[in-house]
Structure 1
Amino acid sequence: MSQPNQPAALLIIDYTNDFVAPEGALTLGEPAQAAEPAIINLAQRFWETGQVVILPTDLHHAHDPYHPESKLFPPHNLAGSWGRQFYGELQPWYEAHRADPTVWEMAKTRYSAFAGTDLDLQLRARGITELHLTGVATDICLLHTAVSAYNLGYQLVIHPRATAGFSPENQTFALQHFQTALGAQLIDD
């Protein structure tokens, strides 16, 4: 975790039914489901120590001809759908903590949690310089968020047990890329 006086934020990216549940529209399956205990543990640790917990979550609309993902993936994380709800124990954890100003969900419409959002402004307003990334997919949304964060000067910490990629090969590539190209610290907790 961060140094005592260094504010940090935990980002739990796209950990929704559509990406994690067996019947999800774009599920990563068992590897994503296996990340649940680590994600919940980290969320609780961050919350208990007064650190920020942010849940950047895909928001899509059915039959959107202008969104580039419409040509690449089946419909997923549609507004108001079961698929966009947080998976497993994360949903009740979020419901129990959502009134706390250090915990919030934010909609995103692109792979990177920074693209078209005020995430950078929110982090800078709180003096946050270190980001801990968890969630799915390691090889798409976490990777693009990490590249954006790196380019904005944030220090990166990745928790591999709290992530999952679309394949073991993609997971390995993304984790190596975080470390070798973005200078991220990998923590197996």
Structure 2
Amino acid sequence: MKALLIIDYTNDFVAPDGALTCGLPGQTIAPRIIDLATEFYQRGDAVILPTDLHQANDPYHPETSLFPPHNLAGTPGRAFYGPLADWYHQYRQAENVWAYPKNRYSSFANSNLDNYLRSRHITDLHLTGVCTDICVLHTAIDAYNLDYQLTIHADAVASFSPAGHTWALGHFKNALGATVTPSV
């Protein structure tokens, strides 16, 4: 079985006024993410939305000193961006749609994701979202180390760093053996 992961596609990471936005590159991938989510949903495959969650001024979280406050609990910045918010509102009650908070770059760290996937016999992961070279990358590395088959949708990932984005796409293919589609 397969699962689509839509990683951190929130207002703070994508909207023009987001606290840590990748801006236009993140906004332009919205239609592709929605197409993939609908395709996976209609086939009965899992659509999973791991989403960054932070507390303001958390002195124990390493990101507090690395980035401006973002995806804070209870703020509009943590809400899904644009069309994904509408898609999720429509399908959130479906058995094969799961959104959950994460507190590290990787969707696997401190989460029940691996158990969720294995209990459903999911072996193939398709990754989308932001940022290509941070949360998508760390999720891919953990998935690789847990022996999942990986597909990265290059037309459905984005970053605020064009160089980091390009590097990560090459890393997915050359170091993790992932399928990167469309091919790079």
Aligned to 2:41: 47
Residue 82 of structure 2 aligns to a residue whose secondary structure is coil
Find the counterpart in structure 1 of residue 129 from structure 2: 135
In the alignment of these two chains, the number of paired residues is 183
Q: Residue in 1 aligned with 2:102?
A: 108
Looking at structure 1, the residues matched to 104 and 161 of structure 2 have their Cα atoms a distance apart, in angstroms, of 21
1:147 alignment partner, one of 141, 150, 160? 141
The residue type paired with residue 115 of structure 1 is A
* 8 Å Cα contact 1:18/1:27 also seen in 2: yes
Q: Distance in 1 between matches of 2:130 and 2:149?
A: 19
Is 1:11 equivalent to 2:33 in the alignment? Answer: no
For residues 111-169 of structure 1, give each alpha carbon's deviation from its aligned partner in whole angstroms, at most 9, with x where no partner exists: 00000000000000000000000000000000000000000000000001101022211
Equivalent position to 2:175, from 175, 178, 181: 181
- Note the residue ranges of structure 2 that are not aligned, 5 or more in a row: none
Inter-partner Cα distance in structure 1 for 2:40 and 2:182: 16
Name the residue aligned to 2:87. Answer: 93
What residue in structure 1 maps to residue 160 of structure 2?
Answer: 166
Question: Could you tell me how far 1:101 is from its partner in structure 2?
Answer: 1.1
Unmatched runs of 5 consecutive residues or more in structure 1:
1-6
CA distance in 1, matches of 2:29, 2:123: 25
Q: Greater shift after overlay, 162-171 or 120-129?
A: 162-171
Which of 71, 74, 77 is residue 80 of structure 1 equivalent to?
74
> In the TM superposition, what is the alpha-carbon distance from 1:178 to its structure 2 partner?
0.2
RMSD after superposition: 0.9
Matched-pair identity in %: 62
Corresponding position of 1:31: 25
